[in-house]
Structure 1
Amino acid sequence: MGILFFLCLFFSALLQLPGTSSIRSVNQELIKQLKLPLYHHAWQTSLSSLSEALALDDARVKFLNSRLTNNNNLTASAHSVSTEVLIDGKESVTVPLNPGQSIGVGNYYTRIGVGTPPTYHLVVVDTGSSFSWIQCEPCAVYCHPQIGAHFNPSASVTYRQLPCGAAQCGSLKTATLNNPMCSSSSNACIYTATYGDQSFSVGYLSTDSLTFGSDTLPGFVFGCGQDNDGLFGKSAGLVGLAKNELSMLSQLSAKYGKAFSYCLPTASLLSSKPGGGGFLSVGVSSNSNYKFTPMLSDSRDPTLYFLKMSAISVSGETLNVAAADYSTVPTIIDSGTTISRLASPVYSALREKLVKIISAKFKTAEAFSILDACFTGSSDEISGVVPPVKLIFEGGGELDLKPQNVVIEVEKGTSCLSFAGNSNLRDIAIIGNQQQQTFDVFYDVAGSRIGFAAGGCR
C-alpha cells in the first residue's frame, strides 16, 4: 500500500472518459485502452499530521527494503487473531485514478465495479502491491470507515469463494508475502495482506466480475476483506499493479496486453487550487513522445519495477558523482512512495547544488521530518529560482523536472526539497510520486521498458 501522505476535507465525483484505441506496432491489431481521469483535490493539514505522514512514508520505504533482504517480518500479532476467527468458521481498460486526499489517503485512487450487478467502490491504486482486495460484508471482525457501502457478496450472482486447493490460493505467498490459511469449516482460502505501516487486510480469497471503466472482466480474483485496519483513509480497499500473476494488470492482460500508463496530477499541500487532468490507463499507450529506459528485474522481488538511473543534471550540468554511485544499489519506481530516496552520495551532491542556488535568495529553515533541506518561502515564491533538474536513466529515459517536482511546501511559508537521502548504504533508491507528477509514465511490461513523456496530465 502506498504511504498515506495527504489528508483531505473534500470529496469530488469521479468522471469517466470514453475508451480510446492505441497501436502497439504496425504488425499488431488495435488494442483497446481503458482510460479515465485522475484528479487532485484541495486540502489542508496540520503540522503534526504532515510530520506523521512523512514518518509513514519512511515506514513504507523500510518495508520495500525489507522485501529485498528477505526480512518481511512486519505482520502484526492482531492479524493472526483475526485469521483465527475466520478459520474457526465465525463468518456470517482505463478508469478514473484520483489522488487520495478526498478519501484521506496519500495514494491515488480509482473507482471499480465488483459483482453482478456491479456495485462501485473507491480503491487505492498501487504499483508496489500485487494483491487486490475490498471490504466485504458482514465484516466478520472489523472494517475501517469508508466512503460508500461495503461490497455485499450475497447480492452478487457471480460471487464465489475459492477453496484451499485452488491454484490461486497457492499463489498468495508471492502476491501478499504471507502464507495462505484455510478455514476448516468451509474449506475457504484465507489471505493476509500486510503493509509497511502495519496496515493489513484479512479475508477470503474470492472471484467475481470486475467492472473496470467501460469493460467487465469475469472471474476476477481478489480478497473479500473481513478484518481490515490501518491507514487506508476512507477507501474501500486496494488494487495492485505490480507484476505478480494475481495483480489486476496480469488479470486484465489477456484482453489489453501487459501494459499500463498513468499521469499523477500535481498534489499541492497548501494551495486551494486543485490539480486535475490525471488518468490511469490499462492497455498500450498511443503517446509517441515517450523516452524509454529498460525495465529491469531483481530476483529478490520480481514483482517490483526496477530501472537504472545513470545521472542527475542541474541547469544542464551533471552532478559531480561517480557513475558507480548511481548503480551500487537498485532503483525502483513506485506510485505509493511520495518522497524520492537517493543513494547518499547522489543526494548529498544534489542537495549541495540546489541549496547553494536557492539559499542565495531564500533563508534556510529547520529540517522538517525526513526533509533536511528547507527554506523560508512558499513553493510559488521559491519556484522562481529553482533551476532545471533532470533525472536521467539508462537508454535515454528522463524526467525533466519542473519546480513543483523539486520543492514541496510543508507549511505556510516553509518549503523543502522533495528528496531524501538513504541513511543505509544498502537501501534501494526510489523514484517517488512527487517527481512523477504531471508526467505520462508508461509501463510496457511485455516489452520490458518504462517510458516518460512530459505534459501527461491534460
Structure 2
Amino acid sequence: MLQKLPSEVYKMTIFWFLVFSAHLATASSVVEVQDKDPRQKKEGMQLKLYHVKGLESSLSTSPFSFSDMIKKDEERVRSLQSILANKEGVSNSVTTASSDKLKGPNLLTTPLKSGLSIGSGNYYVKIGLGTPAKYFSMIVDTGSSLSWLQCQPCLIYCHEQVDPIFTPSTSKTYKRIPCSSPQCSSLKASTLNAPSCSNATGACVYKASYGDNSFSNGYLSQDFLTLSPSEGSSAFVYGCGQDNQGLFGRAAGIIGLANDKLSMLAQLSKKYGNAFSYCLPTSFSQPNSSLSGSLSIGTSSLTSLPYKFTPLLKNPKIPSLYFLGLTTITVAGKPIEVSASSYNVPTIIDSGTVITRLPEAIYNALQESFVKIMSKKYAQAPGFSILDTCFRGSVKGMARVPEIQLVFRGGAGLALQAHNSLIEIEKGLTCLALAPTANPISIIGNYQQQTFKVAYDVANSKIGFAAGGCK
C-alpha cells in the first residue's frame, strides 16, 4: 500500500471519535518463530518470508482467487500512479552516499511467506509485539513507511484477521506516544496526513490513508518488537489501529520498509545497518513452490551472494519510494524493438505490486517478440482480465519458454524464467505475467522478483539482484 494525499471527504466523524476515545482493552496469542544458530548473532540472523497462501486459516471465508488478486493489484497500481501524478518527476541523478563504510555487523532474518491464504497477493512475516510477545502476520511493503497493526478494543472497526487482535493492555512495555514527540511530528512526511492530538489522553493520533481508499487510524505507539526469540528492539514505533478498512486481506497489518525515518528499516538501522534484502518464494502453484523465502535486515546480507547492483535513483519529492533506471528489455537474448527514449519513465521496484506494469509502447514490443516465439509451439488463448497474452497449456509443461531480461543501469537485471514470466490462471490456461499501463510509469512487481535475492543497500543508494536466492 502507498499513502495518498489527504482527502477533504475523509471520515471526520471516525477521526474525532478516536481523538476523544479512552484506553484500550484485552487478548492475543503466540505463534512459534524459529531461531537460528546462536553463533549467528555475531553475523546476523534470518527470518522467513511467506507468500500468504502458505498460512492456513480456520476462518470461514471464501478462498482468495486470482481475480481478487488482480483487482487488488490494479488498486495498488492506481495508487502509485496517483502519487506520481501529484508529485514532481524523478531526478535521474544518483544519490550520493554519505559513507561507504557499512555499520551494523548484525543481520536479522525472518521467514517470508506468500499471502494468498490471508487474502493478499503479497508476502508476510511473523513479528512479535509487546511483553510478553504476541505474534502477528504482517504484510511486508517497500512502498509504506509507517508500520501498523489492528488493536483492541477496535473502537471503530477491525477487519477479520488470522491472528487474535493485539491487546495493548496485556503488554508490560506498551506506551502511547505523546503529541509533543518528534515521532508524532514525523507523521506528516511518513503518511502524507497531518497527525492530531487526543484531548483526553494527549496521545498522538495517526491517519494512514492509501490511494485505493484503504486506511488505518489509531494511536501512534511504542512497544518491544520481537523478530526472533533472541533479537528485538525495545522502542519500536508503530500505529495501533482502531479503524482499519480496505485491501489488507486477513493480515494483522503492514510492516513498512520504505526509505523513511519511521519505517522499520530506519528504526533498526542503528543496530543492523541501513540495508535489507529478501527472497520471495514462488506462488500460485508454480514450479519450485517448495522454496522458502526470507527477509533479512542488516548490511551483512549484502555480501551473502554475488549481487549485480544498479543505482537507486533520487526523487526529493517522493524520497520514500525505490526508483531504478530501466534501460533495456530483451526476449530470447534480443532487445525488443522500441526507442531508447521509451524507457525514460519513472520505474519503481515494489514488493506490494504483484504483476509488473510497463508503458504501452514497451509492453507492445515485448508482447510481439514473446508471442512470435511462443505461438510456434503453443496455441494462443483468450486473455484474462489485464493479462491479454495467454496460451493453452501449463507452465510446468511448457519447455523452452523464451527468457525475458529486464536490464537496469549498470548492467544489473532480472533474467525471467518461466516461473517469473508466465502465470497459470487455471488448469490449461497460462498467461504472460506482465501488463501494460497507459501512464508513463514502470512498476517491477513481486511476481517477477520471485526466487531472486533482492538487496536494498539504502546507505549507499543501490539495489542488487542475485539469482537463486531462495532455498
Maintained 8 Å contact 1:43/1:272: no
Partners of 1:128 and 1:95 lie apart in 2 by 19
Shift in CA distance, 408/272, structure 1 to aligned 2, threshold 3 Å: closer
Residue 414 of structure 1 pairs with residue 429 of structure 2: yes
1:385 paired residue number? 400
1:393 counterpart letter in structure 2:
F
Percent same amino acid among aligned pairs? 52
- 1:394 shift after superposition: 0.5
1:287 paired residue number? 304
2:36 counterpart letter in structure 1:
P
1:109 paired residue number? 124
Secondary structure, aligned partner of 2:44: strand
Q: 1:447 aligns with which of 431, 456, 460?
A: 460
1:361 paired residue number? 377
Partners of 1:294 and 1:19 lie apart in 2 by 34
Residue 229 of structure 1 pairs with residue 242 of structure 2: no
Partners of 1:396 and 1:21 lie apart in 2 by 36
1:314 paired residue number? 331
Partners of 1:20 and 1:443 lie apart in 2 by 25
1:304 counterpart letter in structure 2:
L
Secondary structure, aligned partner of 1:158: coil
Secondary structure, aligned partner of 2:241: strand
- 1:210 shift after superposition: 0.7
- 1:399 shift after superposition: 0.8
- Superimposed CA distance per residue, residues 233-280 of structure 1 (whole angstroms, 9 cap, x where no aligned partner): 2211111000010000000000000000000011125x6984332100
Residue 16 of structure 1 pairs with residue 16 of structure 2: no
Q: 1:341 aligns with which of 357, 361, 369?
A: 357
Partners of 2:322 and 2:269 lie apart in 1 by 17
Maintained 8 Å contact 1:39/1:275: no
1:262 paired residue number? 278
Maintained 8 Å contact 1:38/1:276: no
Secondary structure, aligned partner of 2:155: coil
1:75 paired residue number? none
Secondary structure, aligned partner of 2:86: coil
- Superimposed CA distance per residue, residues 390-410 of structure 1 (whole angstroms, 9 cap, x where no aligned partner): 111101211111111011011
1:125 paired residue number? 140
2:167 counterpart letter in structure 1:
N
1:86 paired residue number? none
Secondary structure, aligned partner of 2:459: coil
User: Which structure 2 segments of 5+ residues have no match?
Assistant: 3-30, 88-107
2:206 paired residue number? 191
Secondary structure, aligned partner of 2:405: strand
How high is the TM-score relative to the length of structure 2? Answer: 0.83
Maintained 8 Å contact 2:311/2:463: yes
- Superimposed CA distance per residue, residues 207-250 of structure 1 (whole angstroms, 9 cap, x where no aligned partner): 11111223120111100111112222221111100001000000
- Superimposed CA distance per residue, residues 390-440 of structure 1 (whole angstroms, 9 cap, x where no aligned partner): 11110121111111101101122111111111112x3x2111011100000
1:54 paired residue number? 70
Shift in CA distance, 51/190, structure 1 to aligned 2, threshold 3 Å: same
Secondary structure, aligned partner of 1:346: helix
Maintained 8 Å contact 2:205/2:219: yes
1:167 counterpart letter in structure 2:
P
- 1:43 shift after superposition: 9.8
Residue 457 of structure 1 pairs with residue 470 of structure 2: yes
Maintained 8 Å contact 1:341/1:432: yes
2:235 counterpart letter in structure 1:
G
Residue 431 of structure 1 pairs with residue 444 of structure 2: yes
- Superimposed CA distance per residue, residues 62-81 of structure 1 (whole angstroms, 9 cap, x where no aligned partner): 1012112228xxxxxxxxxx
Shift in CA distance, 21/414, structure 1 to aligned 2, threshold 3 Å: farther
Shift in CA distance, 367/46, structure 1 to aligned 2, threshold 3 Å: farther
Partners of 2:459 and 2:376 lie apart in 1 by 47
49-58 or 168-177: bigger deviation: 49-58
How high is the TM-score relative to the length of structure 1? Answer: 0.85
Maintained 8 Å contact 2:64/2:120: no
Equivalence map 1:36-51=2 (5 Å): 36-40=47-51, 41=53, 49-51=65-67
Partners of 1:273 and 1:234 lie apart in 2 by 26
Maintained 8 Å contact 2:50/2:115: no
Maintained 8 Å contact 2:176/2:220: yes
Shift in CA distance, 48/188, structure 1 to aligned 2, threshold 3 Å: closer
Equivalence map 1:237-248=2 (5 Å): 237-248=253-264
- Superimposed CA distance per residue, residues 77-118 of structure 1 (whole angstroms, 9 cap, x where no aligned partner): xxxxxxxxxxxxxxxx22221111232221100111111221
- Superimposed CA distance per residue, residues 6-28 of structure 1 (whole angstroms, 9 cap, x where no aligned partner): xxxxxxx8652516999xxxxxx
1:326 counterpart letter in structure 2:
Y
Partners of 2:458 and 2:42 lie apart in 1 by 15
Maintained 8 Å contact 1:98/1:108: yes
Partners of 1:48 and 1:152 lie apart in 2 by 27
Aligned residues: 416
Partners of 1:21 and 1:386 lie apart in 2 by 43
1:429 counterpart letter in structure 2:
S
Maintained 8 Å contact 1:55/1:370: no
Dislocated runs of 4+, deviation >6 Å: 19-22, 42-48
Maintained 8 Å contact 1:363/1:376: yes
2:356 counterpart letter in structure 1:
S
2:114 counterpart letter in structure 1:
P
